[in-house]
């Protein structure tokens, strides 16, 4: 990591960005000005407000006695009963969380929040089953490909003798296949919280054993420490013991309160390391119940490792869950150096061509052979190969009968190319890339594609194109082959971005997560192994590494494990969306943390850095940021280093569309310019040395950008350290929290008041001429479905463009005076998107805040004229500063109960 290499790579990037532009222009959609009909076809407006909540009582259970916690909880129950508050207790917690999960309406939970001793109330979040790509095959002997070589786990096992023996690792997931040879006899604790048929909202029916019918947990456990001698398979720490904690059914989601119950059980069972390859995207606060429990587990001596999340496509601030806890090790995903793919053979040379099968088309039949042809105009530079020309199919009718056709990517959709080929009688389609790398194309369309469609690399496509004149045949092969990954050793695009909502540097570290082969339930009929991708696969690499370090250094404190692994990590270079790799240029700190975990580097490390990372906050309040890093030498020999500043890319653009910027902070170390020359640092044997670090935020960085980089110390003995830092450029509270919502291509001024009965919504500031009234009666919105009822009640839809520290909803009278506080929620996550067209089961665009017509004391509000007012305190905002709170007030409406 020398500065000369770095400067060359930055120059290369400057040329590329200068040619391409650093951001794409965005069109401004018109703002709607009238109530919108056809509500049901555009938005789901039935109130989706939470019904299950966490109630947190004051007092940290890790410092209070069991008797004190029990007494507090008994007092809460008595007070709630005395005031007639209606709720149902679901779970109680006394070990890592002081409180309950309860079933209650918003009105009742608001009454709960006002009871003495209640610290806060929070919605219990639905946690979706981790989304991963699964490739089921047993054609190859599984060995996690090259993943264990990427982290140095192979050297740790074979040369250092580290196997994780004696260390207990808890896996909170879908369970572990107890009959799998990779785990047989090594699961020493287990607990099923849910049962096979569980899904979020359904009753739990726990089984006696925490067996795995989903598959994800077995795969994760296999990476941590699976060991199957019959297949030659070893995970990172192949002699650990396991705790299996099942929080998912065979399919579907789980809930946050179940996951916290599993965390408490893992603690009670004496697990030394816990892995959570699950999370809650966008809930990226350290103060949420899940993150707080994770922090307390570390405080109680357990190493907690959690995936950073797979929401990278949704932009910045997209992490969430336990991974945000203090000293919890948050793990990003790096692509494996090899990938496992299907292939076909071409003649005359008999070489195998790797491909990805297109979704929406059938698989190629093994052994099926077809002569390959192409359009006469097709070359490896053709931009519109296979596309309609003036609305006409470029392939003559019947010209492709019994043949496979080669088509280059570009201009029109993959579906159009495949359909044109199919209409001309083709038996198969070979698409090939027009840039580096591979894709998994989709060819689903109005007319089904009934022939195999495969996607190959640009190089293979060009090769086949050149052979066609002499005659080429392609034959579909069985099994799979390994090929070098085009994204090897770089951050996977799905890996989530930090920072946290509190501007803490997250994630902490990275590990292999893309295309990892590991154990899978035997009942799946795939030979017991599968290839999956996701940060779910990265986290257990680090959990396994922590187990190895605990075996080697059993006195390592849980809170120090993160630093031991982070500060010996190695940086990953930036790979642009085009596939171009910029060697020597670190990817965003906000995506890779300290870099790739290096197990051998951690084992050999003799100098510890405190703190192990630097979170600088917002730059609006300071011209420079001064930090002190203490280096402690645990060795009996003096260590000397060359220290310098190594900036990483700055995250520019917007929250939803990040773009790279080359504006960098500057740094001095011990008063010397660390950007222009190395700084000599000596740490005496068994002693300490301070680094006085002064970082100046990048003046040229875009407003609201996230910058970062590294203090790098290159040791004379080959033992290097890296200390990451990150900060926010500008005024953090200038980020808009309550944003607009795009519906059918039009941007509407949100938040908005909804009237289901009249099938209209009213934008912020919209003038209303006809009075809005609510009866709070059950009404049928669709005359054709008279039994499907909803309450004629007001509710507000709010698009959260950024995390909100506290959301309050007040009821105002006709004069604007506060009648009551109806709702108070804390630590809200942002929405995944601001466009309804981009929503899915795991990506929402707005939150719903409903009013049931009752006051917080449980009585009905009198008939009359009212308004609702939302108050959103911004992240790190100060309630005493008016500009730190965004306020939205609805139009006046009438409560008109009959």
Q: What is the pLDDT of residue 140?
A: 40
- In the three-class reduction of DSSP (H, G, I as helix; E, B as strand; rest coil), residue 525 is classed as coil
- pLDDT more than 70, % of the chain: 93
Round to whole Å and give the CA distance between 744 and 844: 15
What are the catalytic residues? 173, 216, 536
Query: Cβ distance 525 to 337 under 8 Å?
Result: no
| Structure confidence at residue 456 (pLDDT) | 95
SS3 content of the chain, % helix, strand, coil (to 5): 20, 35, 50
pLDDT digits (tens, 9 = 90+) for 803-842: 999 999 999 999 999 999 998 889 999 999 999 989 887 8
- Rounded CA-CA distance 596/577 in Å is 20
| Whole-angstrom distance, CA of residue 302 vs CA of residue 172 | 14
pLDDT of residue 751: 96
- Asked if 341-484 and 736-895 have one fold, the answer is no
The span from the CA of 435 to the CA of 417, in Å, is 18
Say if residues 693 and 629 touch (Cβ distance below 8 Å).
yes
* CATH, domain 736-895, list 2.60.40.4070, 3.40.50.300, 1.10.287.950, 3.30.70.3460: 2.60.40.4070
End-to-end C-alpha distance for the chain, whole angstroms? 75
State how far the Cα of 669 lies from the Cα of 682, in Å rounded to an integer. Answer: 13
Classify residue 671 by burial, with Cβ atoms within 10 Å: 0-12, 13-18, 19+.
exposed
What number does CATH give the domain 52-123?
3.30.70.80
Q: Identify the burial level of 730 via C-beta atoms within 10 angstroms of its C-beta, where 0-12 means exposed, 13-18 middle and 19 or more buried.
A: middle
In the three-class reduction of DSSP (H, G, I as helix; E, B as strand; rest coil), residue 117 is classed as: coil
Question: Taking the domain 341-484, which CATH number applies?
Answer: 3.50.30.30
> Domain boundaries in the chain?
52-123, 137-337+485-553, 341-484, 736-895
Please give the model's pTM, rounded to 2 decimal places. 0.89
Handedness of CA 135, 332, 283, 271 (dihedral sign): positive
Burial of 808 (0-12, 13-18, 19+ CB in 10 A): buried
CA distance 234 to 767: 67
pLDDT of residue 769: 87
* CA angle at 830 for the pair 826 and 831, rounded to the nearest 5°: 130
* Residues 6+ positions from 101 with CB-CB distance below 8 Å: 52, 53, 54, 55, 89, 90, 91, 93, 124, 257
Average pLDDT, consecutive stretches of 10 residues, N- to C-terminus, the chain (898 residues): 39 35 30 39 52 92 92 96 94 96 89 91 87 53 73 97 98 97 96 95 92 95 96 95 97 94 97 94 95 96 97 96 96 91 93 93 95 96 94 96 97 95 97 85 92 95 95 94 87 96 98 92 86 93 98 97 97 90 96 98 96 96 92 94 98 96 97 96 97 97 97 92 97 97 93 87 91 90 76 93 96 96 92 92 88 88 97 97 97 96
pLDDT of residue 799: 97
Query: CA torsion 210→215→220→225, rounded to 10°?
Result: 70
Residue 202 contacts by C-beta under 8 Å, 6 or more apart in sequence? none
In the 8-state DSSP scheme, what is residue 570? B
**From CA 117, how far away is CA 576, in angstroms rounded?**
51
pLDDT at 42: 54
Please name the CATH architecture into which domain 137-337+485-553 falls: 3-Layer(aba) Sandwich (3.40)
């Amino acid at each position: 990591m020398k500065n000369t290499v770095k400067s060359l790579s930055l120059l290369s990037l400057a040329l590329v960005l200068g040619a391409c532009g650093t951001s794409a222009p965005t069109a401004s959609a018109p703002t709607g000005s009238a109530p919108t009909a056809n509500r049901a076809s555009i938005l789901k407006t039935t109130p989706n407000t939470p019904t299950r909540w966490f109630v947190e009582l004051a007092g940290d259970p890790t410092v209070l006695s069991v008797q004190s916690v029990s007494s507090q909880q008994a007092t809460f129950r008595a007070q709630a009963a005395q005031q007639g508050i209606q709720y149902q207790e679901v779970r109680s917690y006394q070990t890592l969380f002081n409180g309950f999960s309860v079933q209650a309406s918003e009105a009742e939970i608001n009454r709960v929040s006002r009871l003495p001793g209640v610290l806060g109330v929070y919605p219990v979040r639905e946690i979706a089953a981790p989304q991963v790509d699964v490739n089921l095959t047993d054609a190859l002997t599984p060995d996690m490909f090259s993943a264990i070589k990427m982290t140095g786990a192979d050297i740790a096992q074979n040369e250092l003798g580290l196997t994780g023996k004696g260390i207990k690792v808890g896996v909170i997931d879908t369970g572990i296949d107890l009959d799998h040879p990779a785990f047989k006899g090594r699961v020493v604790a287990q607990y099923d919280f849910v049962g096979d048929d569980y899904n979020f909202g359904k009753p739990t029916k726990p089984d006696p054993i925490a067996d795995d019918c989903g598959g994800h947990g077995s795969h994760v456990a296999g990476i941590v420490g699976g060991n199957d001698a019959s297949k030659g398979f070893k995970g990172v720490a192949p002699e650990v013991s396991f705790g299996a904690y099942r929080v998912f059914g065979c399919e579907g989601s789980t809930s946050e309160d179940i996951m916290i119950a599993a965390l408490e059980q893992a603690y009670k069972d004496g697990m030394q390391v816990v892995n959570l390859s699950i999370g809650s995207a966008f809930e990226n606060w350290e103060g949420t119940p899940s993150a707080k429990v994770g922090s307390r587990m570390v405080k109680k001596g357990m190493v907690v490792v959690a995936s950073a999340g797979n929401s990278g496509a949704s932009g910045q601030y997209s992490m969430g869950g336990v991974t945000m806890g203090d000293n919890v090790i948050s793990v990003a995903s790096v692509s494996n150096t090899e990938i496992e793919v299907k292939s076909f053979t071409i003649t005359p040379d008999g070489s195998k061509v790797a491909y990805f099968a297109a979704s929406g088309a059938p698989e190629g039949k093994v052994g099926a052979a077809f002569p390959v042809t192409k359009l006469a105009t097709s070359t490896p530079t053709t931009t519109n190969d296979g596309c309609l020309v003036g609305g006409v199919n470029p392939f003559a009718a019947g010209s492709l009968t019994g043949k496979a056709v080669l088509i280059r990517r570009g201009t029109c959709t993959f579906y159009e190319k495949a359909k044109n080929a199919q209409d001309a009688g083709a038996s198969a389609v070979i698409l090939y890339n027009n840039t580096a790398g591979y894709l998994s194309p989709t060819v689903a369309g109005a007319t089904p594609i009934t022939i195999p469609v495969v996607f190959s690399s640009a190089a293979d496509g060009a090769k086949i194109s050149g052979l066609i004149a002499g005659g080429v045949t392609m034959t579909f092969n069985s099994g799979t082959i390994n090929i070098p990954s085009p994204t090897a050793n770089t951050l996977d695009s799905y890996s989530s971005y930090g920072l946290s909502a509190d501007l803490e540097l997250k994630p902490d570290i990275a590990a292999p997560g893309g295309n990892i082969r590991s154990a899978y339930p035997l009942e799946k009929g795939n030979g017991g192994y599968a290839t999956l991708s996701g940060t779910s696969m990265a986290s257990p690499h680090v959990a396994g590494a922590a187990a190895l370090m605990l075996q080697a250094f059993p006195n390592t404190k849980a809170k120090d494990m993160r630093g031991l692994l982070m500060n010996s990590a190695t940086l990953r270079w930036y790979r642009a969306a085009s596939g171009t790799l910029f060697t020597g240029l670190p990817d965003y700190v906000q995506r890779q943390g300290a870099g790739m975990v290096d197990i051998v580097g951690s084992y050999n490390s003799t100098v510890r850095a405190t703190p192990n990372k630097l979170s600088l906050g917002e730059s609006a309040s300071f011209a420079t940021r001064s930090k002190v890093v203490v280096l402690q030498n645990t060795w009996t020999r003096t260590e000397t280093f060359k220290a310098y500043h190594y900036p990483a890319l700055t995250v520019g653009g917007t929250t939803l569309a990040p773009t790279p910027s080359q504006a960098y902070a500057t740094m001095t170390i011990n008063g010397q310019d660390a950007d222009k020359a190395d700084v000599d640092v000596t740490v005496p044997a068994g002693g300490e040395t301070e680094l006085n670090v002064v970082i100046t935020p990048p003046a040229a960085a875009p407003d609201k950008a996230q910058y970062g980089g590294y203090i790098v110390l290159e040791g004379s003995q080959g033992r290097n350290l890296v200390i990451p830092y990150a900060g926010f450029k500008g005024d953090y509270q200038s980020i808009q929290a309550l944003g607009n919502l795009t519906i059918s291509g039009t941007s509407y001024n949100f938040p908005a008041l909804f009237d289901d009965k009249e099938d209209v919504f009213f934008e912020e500031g919209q003038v209303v001429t006809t009075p809005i009234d609510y009866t709070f009666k059950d009404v049928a919105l669709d005359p054709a479905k008279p039994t499907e009822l909803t309450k004629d009640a007001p509710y507000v839809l709010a698009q959260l463009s950024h995390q909100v520290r506290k959301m309050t909803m007040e009821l105002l009278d006709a004069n604007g005076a506060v009648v009551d506080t109806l709702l108070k929620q804390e630590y809200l996550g942002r929405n995944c998107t601001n466009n309804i067209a981009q929503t899915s089961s795991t990506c929402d665009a707005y939150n719903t805040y409903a009013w049931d017509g009752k006051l917080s004391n449980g009585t009905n509000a009198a008939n009359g004229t009212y308004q609702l007012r939302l108050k959103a305190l911004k992240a790190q905002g100060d309630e005493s500063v008016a500009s730190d709170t965004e306020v939205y007030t609805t139009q006046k409406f009438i409560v008109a109960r009959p």
